[in-house]
Structure 1
């Protein structure tokens, strides 16, 4: 171990300049000369689980480090991963589990700042289907929403099914994104339940469209559902880029760790006030409540939690044929070097 604008993954190269939410953009030659220019793709900027990305920008911590960071957004973490692997961005904010999946595919990607020690995910069930689904044992024959096929919500849903005796072939994962698209799918009955995050969870409960089946927004919830800490949202980057731009990566870690510390010492209402107003689609009070429900998932130091990688490996190997018999070098999937120096 080393110490909201949807953009199709295929077209991301041509639209990065148009979708950048901060910074001035610039061509690759300019970025080669100035490594303080960084593009980061987020698997849903308005999701509370990825809140540290936008919050760091809003607090001015990137600028304080002399960084020119462009934040971009995709509806699912798997699409953020695609943008990173293709070289269109230098970093991705998404789930740590992608680093394991990519390693067995021959890609060396590592988490450099670990935002969380729990998934922050919630398995919801529609009110109409609540009588038929009381636990993951009842997933058989159901259509369950995930942000995207191959996404971390897809991974976790499959694990919960297999762990409870349901084969992955016995239910249907449906890519419905998050936010209004997830809510619409639940309303229309195209899914009976699904995995999502706040503020979508808060809106579903507020609209009385469904209820919480499994809550993994806290370390205790992660322990109960997955058997241990589950490091999820993180800043992950190509290891070769990290090795060649250590000063820049350290500045990113400094900014993100400062944000995590700030989050731990401020109220949900204070945090909500710093975020873009249009993120609070259900109103300020409901948005602050969604932040309060999700805050327990975040680390305060950006360091990978002990035994976290092992839990993720166990979960992925339970259902993923690519990983089941593969040897994964967990020490190459993350580094604590930068987060520890940020202290």
Structure 2
């Protein structure tokens, strides 16, 4: 009996060792995404295709609904990694944070919003916005800052040449327009395509195309977390890169099918057409490297919006080590 117990124990220990060896010591990382958006398709692909698991990571994803709430969750250790606009890391630094928030993996590289008109316009030009009621986004957020940047680029003063509404919560902007507020609105997909399908509005311009390449949505974490979990952050970045490469090499239909579980209330054809629109304008970054040119463009946009107290050093708030290693496949 003792011999059988000993053999059983030995077998159990051996099996445990094998399982542990296969998992490589699974580590959990909690992500807080600023909103649920198909704009983040590579992240959902990485989750659904098992790329995080391949790297030995257990990922818990939660939606934190808004830049302020996302950053509060990160700073208070409610999450480990935030997926949010790079401008939030600059805001934290401007407040004199002792534990800065570091951008380590870029997910999207253009603005993701579109200008939607209530009326169909065949030959749109930005000067048609003058004198109109424009339903914008939250002051200080990337959508609003990019929107203002594009309007100024087209010689329109957003605070003088039109009636700018920006006191409506991000999650309620689309429904406010659908209810009759505004003649123009700034919307992400799939709302833009959904409004076209339902005859509520018509896409007349892309803010992503107009504003150029920027580090629009980035994975970031506190310097203290980065210092203590470098191996996990590398594995995390590797998984994101796999997701980016998968998206870059597959059709809108294939991508839509993979990420559909995250958007169960969106029709497959709308999901597919929205992804196609983002692919065509290069919104999804094909690697996680946030370069200095993009960082400077971001600060130009913030400066134009009056939200930049001082320019922040790229080297202090951006760490490309993990992204470069992931891309090199080391």
TM range (shorter): 0.7 to 0.9
Residue 174 (structure 1) aligned with residue 167 (structure 2): yes
For 2:150 and 2:127, the matched residues in 1 are separated by 6
SS of structure 1 residue aligned to 2:40: helix
* Matches for 1:314-329 after TM superposition, within 5 Å: 314-321=300-307, 323-324=308-309, 326-329=310-313
Deviation at 1:213, TM superposition (A): 3.4
Aligned to 1:51: 41
CA contact (8 A) 1:35 1:245 kept: no
1:186 and 2:177 matched: yes
Q: Provide the secondary structure at the position in 2 that maps to 1:276.
A: helix
What is the number of equivalent residue pairs in this alignment?
295
* Residue 85 to residue 168, structure 1, CA distance change in 2 (3 Å): farther
Distance 1:280 1:191, change over 3 A: farther
Rounded to whole Å, the distance in 2 between the matches of 1:167 and 1:259 is 37
Are 1:232 and 2:232 matched, yes or no?
no
Contact 1:50/1:93 (8 A) holds in 2:
no
Deviation (angstroms), 1:125: 2.5
Give RMSD over aligned pairs.
Answer: 2.6
1:37 aligns with 2:28: yes
Please point out which of 93, 111, 122 is paired with 1:119.
111
Q: Residue 300 of structure 1 corresponds to which residue in structure 2?
A: 286
CA deviation after TM superposition for structure 1 residue 342, in Å: 1.0
Higher alpha-carbon deviation: 101-110 or 57-66: 101-110
**1:24-77: CA deviation from partner (whole Å, max 9, x where unpaired):** xxxxxxxxxx992211111222x1212222221111111111112110013334
Asked which structure has the greater CA Rg, the reply is: 2
* Distance (whole Å) between structure 1 residues aligned to residue 115 and residue 96 of structure 2: 32
5+ residue gaps in structure 1? 1-33
Q: 2:80 aligned to 90, 100, 106, which one?
A: 90
Is the contact between residue 112 and residue 234 of structure 1 (CA under 8 Å) also seen in structure 2?
Answer: yes
C-alpha change, 1:238 and 1:137, in structure 2 (3 Å) is: farther
- Is this contact kept in 1: 2:105–2:288, CA < 8 A? yes
